[in-house]
Structure 1
Amino acid sequence: MTSRTPDARPAAPPQPVDVAAVLRGLDAIFAAHDGPTRAAPYLQEALADAERQGDDGARLTLLNELVGLYRSQSLHDDSVMASRSALTLVESMGLTGTDAHATTLINAATAMRAAGRPDDARALYSQALSVADAAFGPTDRRLAGLHNNLSILCSERQDHAQALAELRAAMSILEASSVDPERDLDIATTCTNLALVSFTLGQHEDAARYVDRSLAIYQDGGHEDDPHYASAVAGHAEACFRVGRYADAVTMYRQALAIITECYGADNDYYAVTAENLAEAEAEAAAAAAAGAAPGTGPSDRPSTATPVTAAAASRPAAAVPTTRTLDSGLDLARAFWEEHGRPMLESRYPAYSGRIAAGLVGHGSECYGFDDAISRDHDTGPGFCLWLTAEDHAEIGAALQADYDALPRTFRGVDRTPTTPRAHGAGRRVGVFEIGAFYEQITGYRQAPTTAHEWLMLDEATLAAATDGAVFADPHGAFSAVRGSFTRMSRDVRWALVSRRLGMISQAGQYNVPRMLDRGDGEAAWLSVGELTRAVASLVFLLTGPSSAGYLPYYKWHFAALRRLSRRMGSSLPGAVDDLSEILRLASAACFGPGSPDARARLEERIERLCATIAAELQARGLSSSGETFLERQREHVAAHITDPWLKAL
């Protein structure tokens, strides 16, 4: 093996931050219950990287994450400062009046409320309501979150009747938009809040009903490991205390405290309040036992100190924090295999090259998207990673490095890394040693991102998703990240041309052909039209959000998984579209193949039109159209006006 000193190369240009990878990493920290020690430094480092790269979109997402994290850790001054920075950034990015503005206002108001500044919080919540009314749809779940937060502020100001009204407004939105109300985490949280306010107002029967429903959702949905479960448990404990079931209250408070400690540590307001309530419940339980009273007798006359909670110590939205897995995800396994075996091998055997070799896992496979699970493990999975080399380095050491990679342990953490299908061997292999250009040519047909509009249009979105998904574990030289990043920088002209195409398909397939095919009694054709509508809307969501922050729409079977994940992210376009599409598919099944229910057809066409109206509003909010026209074919000319490339304009 020839050794040489790496030559000096020009510094790689600034690259957009891989926000999806950052958030997956944050999810993994919370899933491992390392939030108290690792989450803040992790986000701070990612934010510093975004600032170095000049990536304002990533900065805004990360600042909003920090607002919630600092609040959950009772670092209220830091939370307020981060929220102010986020609002300043919203203005400088020209996002005033958008859904990103509304969401940032909500986060800032909640930070002010937690910091004990109710007047500032009320002003920001009022501003958020004004923006949200224009930016969000009537069933947008973020609007429900805003009402939920307003209820907390009202409770803290002793306006319990208004708090109840805000919570009922939130519940109305959630139930209207929920795909499965009996497993919906947001409905469970709102039930907990309703229970606490109802107790304060003396409405004990309503409170008990809300508590039972909240706990049933968490338990039936298998969400006991979710940090939000602490809210439901603490709410149930408060309910038990208020009706004199002190022993039950002690049990529940201890359970809530254990969850808070495990997920967020003991140095925060949530822990302190819950610990204080536990001590009081223990004292009452001991007194009741000494007096010989039955554990459930005698309602408490304690004034309620409980405040409705959105989530006990939660710094992320409920659905963004995964339940703990019994098996490592593919990306986690790949990263661990790299750290324990790959990196040491490079540093010991290729010291002159280790500073020039990138490592990670990118390409085809559910593990690269973060969607793998136990079902995925029946083929082409196992510990493995990619090593990416420049053409020069690959010519010198590629074969030797591949042999050393192949010699790494065949089993890691009890999982075999031998591929199981022919497509995972030879030219189609997904892991091992690659020359950077050849790796991307294998996936996309191009050694680097296209340079012309025509070439971009030749690439489908699933291919681009495979080229930009996954995670880069190390890239000290920056050569691989430069190529990978180039595939996320689709020009605005190409994006708007694709947006125009998607609008045309949504209109043609959904607004025009679904009712016509149903009129003809051709349910199969109507069903295919709904499929085209679904694909076009899913693509539109990713295109409007932007490849640099959202990536691309993946392979068809992951459309809904990808939409659900994106809908939970700050600043994503059309976050309610995934629920609309789910309901459209359900209604279409009945309308196309059912026993001829006119109600199903009417509801299907109404839901399609509602979705199209939401899309039209989104185009206006993003400055792509000044028209309120909801027949989306007529929106295409407004979007096309933003295209400067003559060839694309003529398509």
Structure 2
Amino acid sequence: MPEFIPGLVLARSFYMDVVRPLINVPHAAGLLGEGSEVLGFDQPRSTDHAWGPRLQVFVEDEHLQTVAAAVEQGLPAEFRGWPVRFFSWQTNSVRHHVEITTLESWVRSQIGTDPTAVELSTAAWLALPQQALLQVTAGAVFHDDTGALHRLRDLLSWYPRDVWLWAMASQWHLIGNAEPRVGRMIEAGDRRGSVLIAARIVRLLMELSFLQEQRYWPYDKWFGTAFARLDVAPALGPQLDAILSAEDDTTRIAAIHDALFLVAERHNTLGLTSHIEPTIDNFQVGIDDAVRPYLVINAGKVVEGCRAAIGDGALRDLVMVGTFDQLTHGDDALVNFTTWPQQIAKVYDRLLEASPSKR
């Protein structure tokens, strides 16, 4: 077995030493798309299937056949001890993995549209899985003659401001819904249920941290690893661990409050809304002036602060079910092998068009 080389390092060397000399037309190249190595999380274990030097080369349509032929004829059998031709699960065959394509075709294969040709609508943004966005914006660019690949990645690097605000409002809404259920489950004698809700709050807080730092989160296998690289992780991580490891209800609820205060204070540093002082008080049900003795943070004020800052009236009025990843899950099958993201975009579009703000 050859010595392990991180996939991004291997791909860059492979391009510079082998592939680039074979291409005599303007082009861009990089390692993007699916794969742990694109996210920078690959390990020696990653090499046990479909592993080797690979990258994408983007050329204009008229150069596709010429470049593909030159690459096919010029590639060596091995590079740094790794076979250049290895199994492809996409084609169920052994082949080289230098993907020759146009930038337009490739980005459509990743997110279902070409945002450089037609500006993404609000509905399209809401329905884009974050993993799919990472497949365009993560990885590395090795060469870009025209700058088109960099412009594409910049365009998709983060949500438009209104979409970002709505996503954060939705996340705080989800947190606000989950938090009082911890106390309710305890009161009902369902300790297991209260622990499950507490674990859900941990996940919601981790997701909120990605949103606050304007970072897309990956699919579940690398979600925790990616969270550990966030700026907030050294402070928030131990608090989340305390929630998960608490041996009694009082300790768990106190740890939830500590974590919520931290992310609420970080919200204020973003400057997206007016200052919202985090407070803990009894849960107000919102119906018939009912108040229950479960101490919760004032998440609703953060929700309303985010909502009030949204400029798009139709989006501001939309029920806060969240973006694709808040509404459902980013499983590989759902993201890369179905049209569910496109179907969900149509639903968002219909809901936005039906808004009173559009009348």
Q: TM-score, normalised by structure 1?
A: 0.42
Counterpart Cα distance in 1 of 2:68 and 2:250: 60
Letter in 1 for 2:135: A
Matched, 1:376 2:46: yes
Aligned match of 1:338: 15
Distance in 1 of aligned mates of 2:203 and 2:27: 38
- 2:58 is matched with which residue: 346, 365, 388? 388
Instruction: Tell me how far 1:560 sits from its aligned partner.
Output: 1.6
Among candidates 251, 256, 276, match of residue 627 of structure 1: 276
Give the gaps of 5 or more residues in structure 1.
1-325, 568-572, 588-598
Cα displacement (A) at 1:527: 5.0
Greater percentage in helix: 1
Contact persistence 1:574–1:618 (CA under 8 A):
no
Query: How many angstroms apart in 2 are the aligned matches of 1:412 and 1:382?
Result: 9
Provide the rounded CA distance (Å) in 1 between the counterparts of 2:233 and 2:305: 19
Write the distance in 2 (CA, Å) between the matches of 1:521 and 1:420: 53
Task: State the AA in 1 paired with 2:69.
Answer: A
Instruction: For residue 584 of structure 1, give the secondary structure of its aligned residue in structure 2.
Output: helix
Q: Distance in 2 between matches of 1:410 and 1:505?
A: 53
Residue 108 (structure 2) aligns with: 441
Aligned partner of 1:612 in structure 2 is: 260
AA at the equivalent of 1:612: L
1:111-510 mapped onto 2 (5 Å cutoff): 327-346=4-23, 350=24, 353=25, 356-389=26-59, 393-394=60-61, 396-407=62-73, 408-420=75-87, 422-423=89-90, 431-448=98-115, 451-509=120-178
* Matching residue within 513, 516, 521 for 2:184: 516
- 2:218 maps to what in 1? 554
**Counterpart code for 1:633:** G
TM-superposed CA distance for 1:431, in Å, is 4.7
SS in structure 2 at match of 1:383:
coil
Highest relative contact order (Cα 8 Å, sep 6+), 1 or 2?
2
Q: Which amino acid letter does the alignment assign opposite residue 581 of structure 1? A: L
Q: Residues 21-36 of structure 1: matches in 2 within 5 Å?
A: none
| Cα displacement (A) at 1:526 | 4.1
Offset of residue 491 of structure 1: 1.0
Given candidates 544, 555, 558, the residue that maps to 2:212 is: 544
Q: 1:584, 1:607 within 8 Å by CA — same for their partners in 2?
A: yes
- For residue 229 of structure 2, give the secondary structure of its aligned residue in structure 1: helix
Is contact 1:424-1:430 (8 Å) kept?
Answer: no
Mapped to 2, the partners of 1:508 and 1:612 lie a distance apart of 13
Deviation at 1:378, TM superposition (A): 1.3
Tell me the CA shift for residue 633 of structure 1. 2.9
Partner residue in 2 for 1:648: 315
Task: Work out the CA distance in 2 between the residues paired with 1:543 and 1:377.
Answer: 32
In structure 2, C-alpha distance between the alignment counterparts of 1:552 and 1:448, rounded to whole Å? 18
After TM superposition, list the pairs within 5 Å mapping 1:43-54 onto structure 2: none
Cα distance in structure 2, aligned partners of 1:575 and 1:644: 34
Taking structure 1 as reference, are residues 494 and 518 closer, same or farther at Cα in structure 2, changes over 3 Å only? same
Whether the aligned pair in 1 keeps the contact of 2:199 and 2:243 (CA below 8 Å) is no
**Alpha-carbon distance, 1:642 to partner:** 1.4
Contact conserved, 1:493 with 1:643, CA < 8 A, in 2? Answer: yes
Question: For residues 420 and 649 of structure 1, do their structure 2 counterparts lie closer, same or farther at Cα, with a shift above 3 Å needed?
Answer: same
Aligned to 2:245: 586
Q: Could you list the per-position Cα deviations for residues 127-161 of structure 1 after superposition, in whole angstroms to 9, with x for gaps in the alignment?
A: xxxxxxxxxxxxxxxxxxxxxxxxxxxxxxxxxxx
Please tell me whether Structure 1 or Structure 2 has the larger radius of gyration of its CA atoms.
Answer: 1
In structure 1, distance between residues paired with 2:44 and 2:233: 31
Q: CA–CA distance in 2 between the matches of 1:382 and 1:424?
A: 16
Q: Deviation of residue 460 (structure 1)?
A: 2.0
Unaligned runs of 5+ in 2: 279-296, 319-359
**Which position in structure 1 is the counterpart of 2:303?**
636
The answer as to whether partners of 1:364 and 1:430 remain within 8 angstroms in 2 is: no
Q: How has the CA–CA distance of structure 1 residues 523 and 413 changed in structure 2, closer, same or farther, with 3 Å as cutoff?
A: farther
Distance 2:15 2:311 in 1: 45
State the AA in 2 paired with 1:606. A
SS of 1:565's equivalent?
Answer: coil
Cα distance in 2 for partners of 1:425, 1:397 equals: 27
Are 1:405 and 1:432, in contact at CA under 8 Å, matched by a contact in 2? no
The Cα shift of 1:531 comes to: 4.7
> Is the 1:620–1:626 contact (alpha carbons within 8 Å) kept by the matching residues of 2?
yes
Query: How far has the Cα of 1:538 moved from its partner?
Result: 2.4
Aligned to 1:602: 250
The aligned counterpart of 2:335 is none
Write out aligned runs for 1:5-84 (5 A).
Answer: none
Distance apart, 1:565 and its partner CA: 1.6
Say if 1:459 and 1:370 are closer, same or farther in 2 by CA, change over 3 A: same
Question: In the comparison of the two structures, how many residue pairs are matched?
Answer: 292
Q: Quick one: which amino acid aligns to residue 183 of structure 2?
A: P
d(CA) in 2 for partners of 1:638 and 1:645? 15
User: Which SS does the other structure have where 2:248 is aligned?
Assistant: helix
Q: CA RMSD in A?
A: 2.4
**What's the counterpart of residue 227 of structure 2?**
563
- Asked if the contact 1:505–1:536 (Cα under 8 Å) also holds between the matched residues in 2, the reply is yes
Q: What SS is found at the alignment partner of 2:41?
A: coil
Letter in 2 for 1:503: W
SS at match of 2:90: helix
